[in-house]
Structure 1
Amino acid sequence: MKRTLMRKTAMTVAGLTLFGTLVGGGTAVAVTNGADTGLASCVTGTRNWGGNILSQYGCTEYDLPNGEQQVFGIGTDGAIWTRWSRTNGTLSSWTSLNGQGRSSVYAGGTAWAITLSVIGTDGNWWYNNRGGTASGGWSGWHR
């Protein structure tokens, strides 16, 4: 089942800004790291993914067909970053998908074929498509 951050809502609880809900259950939140209120750790309904993402955009989780999950967020450099779980329980390193985002990253698709959507620095929607196999690569950002 895919989980996509469809709508961003913000609420402040005990000094933390919480963001959004996930389609299909669970929650996606940005937990501030205390050093900079504009940065957050990527936290979803399944785990704390760590990292430093821009808290105003939160992160998006996508369930892969083999039981792994993949998350996407906007890093401190404005680029779109991803991290995924492995079937043995370990996590990959954060990997840049490049591009520059100024919105939450939306993930949709079926099985391994994922389409990411984000508003770029030019105000237009940009897309990056992942191939439909377990070893599929990304197409690169296009409008």
Structure 2
Amino acid sequence: MKRIKAALLTAAVVAGMTVAATPAQATSYCNVGGGTFICEYAMSTTTLPDGTKQEFGIGTDRAVWTRWTNSSGGWTSWTSMGGEWYSAAAIRTQEVYPYLFCLVAKGSDGWLWADCRDNGGNWTGWSHLPDPS
């Protein structure tokens, strides 16, 4: 069952994915919730069915950074998800499995990469997506 869900999510990610990269010379930085991020890539935000909000941004080190709301409604500290990204971390969801979603970003190699969250909040780790062409 896990493999079927993962395959469905991966297919949806690849089918609907376009990520725009910003030229390096245009880089400016924004402060969000105590973290510093590349403004041109914007923050990505999702709200889970239980009301938990989660934000993702590309930091000055080009890693994806995330934070989420805790049970009292406050925000956690920023946590690095690693990588070296040259686009926003786009969120791709599946309506059938609302707690499952993937982040997709363009890597330093020019290819798209994904890191997917399961129903329990665990992440798969970054993996290279197949060439969609």
Same fold, TM-score > 0.5, yes or no = yes
- Match among 62, 68, 78 for residue 94 of structure 1: 78
2:49 and 2:83 mapped to 1: Cα distance?
A: 26
The offset of 1:120, in angstroms, is 0.5
**Does residue 29 of structure 2 align to residue 39 of structure 1?**
yes
How far residue 7 of structure 1 moved from its aligned partner, in angstroms, is 8.2
Instruction: Name stretches of at least 5 consecutive residues in structure 2 with no aligned partner.
Output: 1-17, 21-26, 129-133
Alpha-carbon distance in structure 1 between the residues aligned to 2:74 and 2:107: 31
Q: CA deviation at 1:100?
A: 1.2
Aligned-residue sequence identity (percent) comes to 35
Say whether 1:124 aligns with 2:111: yes
**Structure possessing the higher relative contact order (Cα contacts under 8 Å, 6 or more residues apart):** 2
Q: Which amino acid aligns with 1:68?
A: T
Greater percentage in strand: 1
Distance 1:95 1:121 in 2: 21
The one-letter code sitting in structure 1 at the alignment partner of 2:106 is: I
User: How far apart in 2 are the matches of 1:75 and 1:94?
Assistant: 10
1:87: Cα distance to partner?
A: 3.0
Is this contact kept in 2: 1:67–1:87, CA < 8 A? no
Preserved CA contact (<8 Å) 2:87 2:105: yes
Runs of 4+ in 1 over 3 A off after TM superposition: none
Counterpart check, 1:53 vs 2:37: yes
Give the distance between the partners of 1:7 and 1:122, measured in 2 at CA: 14
Aligned: 1:137 with 2:127:
no
Aligned length: 102
Larger relative helix fraction: 2
Partner of 2:66: 82
* RMSD (CA atoms): 1.9
CA shift digits 1:8-51 (9 cap, x unpaired): 7xxxxxxxxxxxxxxxxxxxxxxxxxxxx811023xxxxxx341
For 1:70, the equivalent position in structure 2 comes to 54
Contact 2:48 2:99 in 1 (8 A): yes
Residue 20 of structure 1 aligns with which residue? none
Q: 2: distance between equivalents of 1:82 and 1:131?
A: 16
Deviation of 1:88 after TM superposition, in Å, equals 0.8
Return the TM-score normalized by structure 1: 0.65
